[in-house]
Structure 1
């Protein structure tokens, strides 16, 4: 039984069971809660247990209504689907009908197009035939007119040409006369009949008159500033003879080339010109006069580009003619005057001016390349030029304009070629460097020439010759006859020095003038770098490696042979000729240090500045590297020799100090004066010398070089002391004095901080103790102390210097025993001490008494002549320390 018939449905629920409820966004949970909302409220209000029946009846009625609604909606959906399907079928049929209609229309248009194309082809053929007939008629008419004018001119009649010229219709008459006269000139040159010469003269006379009239007319409109009429005249003259005369008149009468103010040379009183010949002043970047001219050229060309485009029918050609005149007349004339003035100052001023001009001119050329009129559209207001029915290959004209950019580059190159062709530039650059180096090293050379006046060679003349040789060598293609003697004379002339005796008495040579310095080397490298920069700017890129190598030879002669090696040679001469009794001068070590720093600077300069320039040529790069290495090796060899001479001089001085030892120094009387003395005078002198040498060595060397240098002097002085101890008799009081001297020697050598020397001088101190031991304890001291492993017979030459040896010798010999087992072990210690002969026998048994690490000691005597400086195989100049 249907519950809907017994119980009425809640009206609020009936409102929810409409189709609108299920449209848009539908939430099932919200729908169910809305149906049961009123029943829940009623259930909450009624007392008693929960009654589910109202809810069941309500939901059953709702479900029944929803089923009815679903059936209605399904019916409507089926009806709509049928309607849509029928509409789609109708639409598809209409599209098929339309496509068939469009295809029919397309076929109709294609047929029509093919018919039109066929008609067009027929029209084109007819047009071509008509054009050919028209051209033939024009040629025939032009030939007829040409023969008519020729016959008239043969009789001297020019009335027809005058009448044609006076036509005012767009000035076409004048243009036609120009074309006719050009053709008549061609005909007159080819016709060879009786009377042709007279006719040719008449034609040439009339052509000359016509050209003059047109040029006057062009000049008149040019002065009035009427570009439109100027363009007509230019077009007429172009038809007549190519327009070259018109272009020449335009260029020749331009105010830019007539101005007299521009013909004057540069103002050489400005700061720029005053700094040009000064090598210590930085090279100026711009020349004021040249900058002014170039600024005016830029402004003028910018203005003329517009005028030329508006006036001439061939603006690219006219612009090229105008710019060629600018370079050949304005720029070249100014540069010639400027370079001549600079040349009278010095070679450096000339080269700086040339480099400045090249840089500024290159910038000007780059700016002018934007005015390439061949890439712009010609004037739009010009009338169309009628075709010439009788145009032939013989027609005159200016021809096509060449490339604009290369034309400017060529014009610029022609300005500088007279100064850079062949080897002119390189020779001048080499001479300039030679002059500057000669003046820079003048006082240095004078000083060393005086210091070496005992030598027969003239240092100043040698300096001039070396720099001249370098300048001549730098250019293998120099002019014939340029000998080294001539080059040397040129250096003397350019430097403003009359000869080696041209020394100012008011400014005498000082000691510091002869000392080499890093500042002078840096100045020489700075000048050389400036010259290399000019080579890169002025010379062709392919020649830069050659120029760099050539100028490197000049630098090597000046910095190497004429500066560093001269200082080293003078230092060697002083060491050889010095008075051995005078105090030793160790300034040679300062020269060694300066040489080391300059070699470092040289290598850095070569690697950073020069070798990259030779990257394009493997051969020249290798040659440059080899030359640099040879230069460094030569300087190192000279420095090695100087260092060895310094070491020898120090040892000679120490030997001379030891030779001043008095016989009674170690055998004094037992008085207060003897005990008051701390050390003997020779000991004090030797210690002072050793300290001076230590300080000088530490100030000017470092690392392994310093260690081997101090080791060499310490080892050799140790040998001198061994010989020295055998020469003097020592009593008990003298033993104390001797012990003080040996302790001073040991303390002084200890400040060298060379482990290899400590054991040697400890042995000396122990050896000196044999003069302090009483006679009865001498034997036990020798056998049981530090000297116990030395063969007693080897110590006898030193024991014999004891003043009481005659009394103690018999007892000493009676108790003496020889430990032969120690002979073999003492051999290594002897080698480490580096002594030989009788001294070797003395220290033969000391090998077992080695102090310190055996691995740190080696035969130093065998190393004396090894390595750079003659000290260490690791010593070298120009390498990282």
Structure 2
């Protein structure tokens, strides 16, 4: 009870409750709630109405007392709860001890009981074994008695009625007993039979006939159940015959009952064999589609469905489906698929090598996919225990193609296919260029360069005894050796083909065939694409058919591509181009022709495209085949680099001959410059004759070069022509006297030359030709200005002696005057 004058009201008492503090209220919440009704109650801030603090003080005093009381109550409750916890923990410990004792007693009882059971079992087991022995002896005695009586019945009456009843019974166990008895009877009868006992021998025959009848009747029933899809009945008969003689006959019947097996002799479909259009396409190297035989694909689809359907039936009919499926699969491969494949592959050999390897690859992939899908089905349906059927499928698939995919047989045909394709192209191309190819000018030039390099390398090696040849030289000579070896082989191949084929068409016939000429008279990128595609196609077949030999076989295909095709077609085109450049160079020196074709320059652009195409094929297709064979891969690199280097050298030689031709022609035309062309009294409208003809020649050459070259090749070629022309003009103007009027004529010629060069749109070349204009100024300016002129522009870079050569051609030239006033030494 509280005796305070200012006791707490009911609202504050509700706050002072232990549950409130335990329920999550904070001190701040409590103070706010306690003071909210007294905040500025009836007060004025500025006028200071009287505020009595006592109610507040007393209120908070009462609050403190109430809080203290609540704290004491809380402590009391806490001590009470702790005592209760201690009591419950004590009771729990007592319960655990009591239960532990009880568990120990139960465990002890169980151990005693287990000992007693073990003792009883020890005594019962001998009794059980004795009982089983007695039972087995009784059963064997019963079976023996039944067997002897059955033999006696067949021996005396040629039949035994109880066995007949078992045979005709519909009860599974009875028929199983009949089957086992017949087997034992035959064994017994054969042991008793002897030449002296005729009746015993006859008894064996009777029992054998009975056995055959028993088996035939079961097979007939099995056949009937098969037609009616009574799989449970079929399973019983299959089980009986399995115990009777291993079940071979019922398995044979089951396999033969399938429609595909019944029609196995008539499965050969001649759809593709009779379609000449398909075989024509397959024999065409340009044909790029997949060579699929729809009839074979349809046959495999039907067989796939048949195997799946029969596998499910076998699973229901036979206790062990693996042997049945094994026979079923082997029969399908050996009797149906083999006939189909053999017919197609044998026929393809008569059509051509390319058709053969294409259809071989197609069938290999098709049957391989079929085999893989069947294996996956058997694995998924738990029919391929221990992967036995998977091994059978792989073996069957392997046996189908072993005759055609052995390393020597297959790849010899693959090489023959590529060689035939290349031979056909080379023979047609060389027919148009027999004269140029017979000269072998480029080959001789390349061999001379190789000899120079070799002699230089040999000299260095002799000077440093023991020093080996550089790796680059070794690679090139290795390349030449391989090239000669391959070309020798290919030459023999071509001789064989020439003897097999009809005589080639006459040259006149070839030149009259416009389409033929367009395709085979020059290097054709379309033909190169066909050969490269053929090589890629061969690589794809090698990876499928002989993956273990892929590195070595890919190397041989690369050699065919580089040596056979690269040398005899691409190399021949470069030989023809070089011969053309050489002949035009000879004409340019003699001045016997007025125009030049420059058609051989097309070899630059086409050869660049060809090298890019072949290099891409090698890099992306052929080299990856040798990723696991470092030596083969290195060999591939060396051969490719040597071949590309040889082509680049050939192009450089052609460029050199062509540039010489242009230079010789310009030199010949400049010879038409008359001695007095630049010593004139009057200025004419026309350019000098030499300038006019050189200008016409340069324009003609530019138009033809633009048609045959492009990009960097065009730019580099024009720069070389322009710089050579500039150098010739610089020497040319050192030879002619020039007066003041002639200087203007010379300047006109120079401007004409500059305008032609500017049309080529090569800034650095145009900049170089500015020197000509500055040299022309040496002939036109007043003598007093020459000294200042030679210190500016490009003339400042010329040697004084060179400038003197030009200035000395002025008609007003005075050596003492010039040396004194122009400081030219």
> Which TM bucket (shorter chain)?
0.7 to 0.9
Deviation at 1:255, TM superposition (A): 1.0
User: What is the match of residue 640 of structure 1?
Assistant: 652
CA contact 1:228–1:310 (8 Å) conserved in 2: yes
Aligned match for 1:426, one of 393, 402, 411: 411
CA distance in 1, matches of 2:136, 2:487: 68
CA contact 2:667–2:728 (8 Å) conserved in 1: no
Aligned match for 1:302, one of 294, 308, 312: 308
Deviation at 1:413, TM superposition (A): 1.6
User: What is the match of residue 172 of structure 2?
Assistant: 171
Please state if 1:603 is matched with 2:609.
no
CA distance in 2, matches of 1:377, 1:745: 89
User: What is the match of residue 378 of structure 2?
Assistant: 372
Please state if 1:115 is matched with 2:127.
no
CA contact 1:714–1:757 (8 Å) conserved in 2: no
CA distance in 1, matches of 2:628, 2:120: 68
Deviation at 1:128, TM superposition (A): 4.3
TM-score (norm 1): 0.71
SS in 2 for 1:675: coil
Please state if 1:575 is matched with 2:574.
no
Aligned length in residues: 763
Aligned match for 1:686, one of 681, 684, 694: 694
Aligned match for 2:390, one of 405, 424, 432: 405
SS in 1 for 2:684: helix
Deviation sequence 1:43-70 (CA, Å, 0-9, x none): 99xx996666777778878888888888
Deviation sequence 1:422-442 (CA, Å, 0-9, x none): 322222223333344455566
Unaligned runs of 5+ in 2: 443-480
Aligned match for 1:626, one of 635, 638, 646: 638
Deviation sequence 1:320-347 (CA, Å, 0-9, x none): 2112211222222222333345445443
Q: 1:314 to 1:99 in 2, by over 3 A?
A: closer
CA contact 2:315–2:321 (8 Å) conserved in 1: yes
SS in 2 for 1:423: helix
CA distance in 2, matches of 1:783, 1:73: 117
Please state if 1:501 is matched with 2:506.
yes
CA distance in 1, matches of 2:672, 2:41: 142
Deviation sequence 1:463-485 (CA, Å, 0-9, x none): xxxxxx99998999xxxxx9964
CA distance in 2, matches of 1:781, 1:11: 121
Q: 1:252 to 1:710 in 2, by over 3 A?
A: same
Unaligned runs of 5+ in 1: 379-399, 458-468, 477-481, 823-844, 846-881
User: What is the match of residue 228 of structure 1?
Assistant: 232
Deviation sequence 1:854-878 (CA, Å, 0-9, x none): xxxxxxxxxxxxxxxxxxxxxxxxx
User: What is the match of residue 459 of structure 2?
Assistant: none
Please state if 1:245 is matched with 2:249.
yes
Aligned match for 1:328, one of 321, 334, 338: 334
Bigger drift between 194-203 and 684-693 goes to: 194-203
Deviation at 1:526, TM superposition (A): 2.5
User: What is the match of residue 462 of structure 1?
Assistant: none
CA distance in 2, matches of 1:149, 1:237: 20
Please state if 1:524 is matched with 2:531.
yes
CA distance in 1, matches of 2:486, 2:122: 77
User: What is the match of residue 831 of structure 1?
Assistant: none
SS in 1 for 2:407: coil
SS in 1 for 2:801: coil
Bigger drift between 512-521 and 323-332 goes to: 512-521
Please state if 1:677 is matched with 2:662.
no
Q: 1:371 to 1:153 in 2, by over 3 A?
A: farther
User: What is the match of residue 616 of structure 1?
Assistant: 628
CA distance in 1, matches of 2:231, 2:647: 74
Please state if 1:585 is matched with 2:597.
yes
Please state if 1:718 is matched with 2:727.
yes
Deviation at 1:124, TM superposition (A): 4.4
Q: 1:19 to 1:624 in 2, by over 3 A?
A: closer
Q: 1:162 to 1:486 in 2, by over 3 A?
A: farther
Q: 1:646 to 1:156 in 2, by over 3 A?
A: farther
User: What is the match of residue 390 of structure 1?
Assistant: none
Deviation at 1:615, TM superposition (A): 0.7
Please state if 1:415 is matched with 2:400.
yes
CA distance in 1, matches of 2:513, 2:725: 45
CA contact 1:165–1:177 (8 Å) conserved in 2: yes
CA contact 1:571–1:588 (8 Å) conserved in 2: yes
CA contact 2:423–2:494 (8 Å) conserved in 1: no
Question: What does 1:232-381 correspond to in 2, within 5 Å?
Answer: 232-259=236-263, 262-267=267-272, 269=275, 275-284=281-290, 286-372=292-378, 376=382
Q: 1:506 to 1:216 in 2, by over 3 A?
A: farther
Please state if 1:555 is matched with 2:556.
no
Q: 1:347 to 1:656 in 2, by over 3 A?
A: same
CA distance in 1, matches of 2:64, 2:785: 140
User: What is the match of residue 4 of structure 1?
Assistant: 3
Bigger drift between 31-40 and 80-89 goes to: 31-40
CA distance in 2, matches of 1:532, 1:545: 10
Q: 1:541 to 1:144 in 2, by over 3 A?
A: farther
Deviation sequence 1:774-795 (CA, Å, 0-9, x none): 9x99999999997993299978
Deviation at 1:304, TM superposition (A): 1.0
- Counting helix residues as a fraction of each chain, which structure ranks higher? 2
Deviation at 1:250, TM superposition (A): 1.9
CA contact 1:679–1:740 (8 Å) conserved in 2: no
CA distance in 2, matches of 1:789, 1:79: 125
Question: What does 1:525-544 correspond to in 2, within 5 Å?
Answer: 525-537=532-544, 539-544=545-550
Deviation sequence 1:237-277 (CA, Å, 0-9, x none): 21232222222222223212234774332345598667444
User: What is the match of residue 790 of structure 1?
Assistant: 801
User: What is the match of residue 851 of structure 1?
Assistant: none
Q: RMSD between aligned alpha carbons?
A: 5.4
CA contact 1:230–1:311 (8 Å) conserved in 2: yes
CA contact 2:747–2:776 (8 Å) conserved in 1: no
CA distance in 1, matches of 2:554, 2:135: 71
CA distance in 2, matches of 1:48, 1:659: 132
CA contact 2:291–2:358 (8 Å) conserved in 1: no
Q: 1:743 to 1:157 in 2, by over 3 A?
A: same
User: What is the match of residue 836 of structure 1?
Assistant: none
Deviation at 1:97, TM superposition (A): 2.8
CA distance in 2, matches of 1:666, 1:27: 118
SS in 1 for 2:374: helix
Please state if 1:514 is matched with 2:525.
no
Q: 1:470 to 1:236 in 2, by over 3 A?
A: farther
User: What is the match of residue 456 of structure 2?
Assistant: none
CA contact 1:277–1:346 (8 Å) conserved in 2: yes
Deviation at 1:300, TM superposition (A): 1.5
CA distance in 2, matches of 1:19, 1:778: 121
CA distance in 2, matches of 1:745, 1:146: 125
CA distance in 2, matches of 1:21, 1:737: 123
CA contact 2:297–2:366 (8 Å) conserved in 1: yes
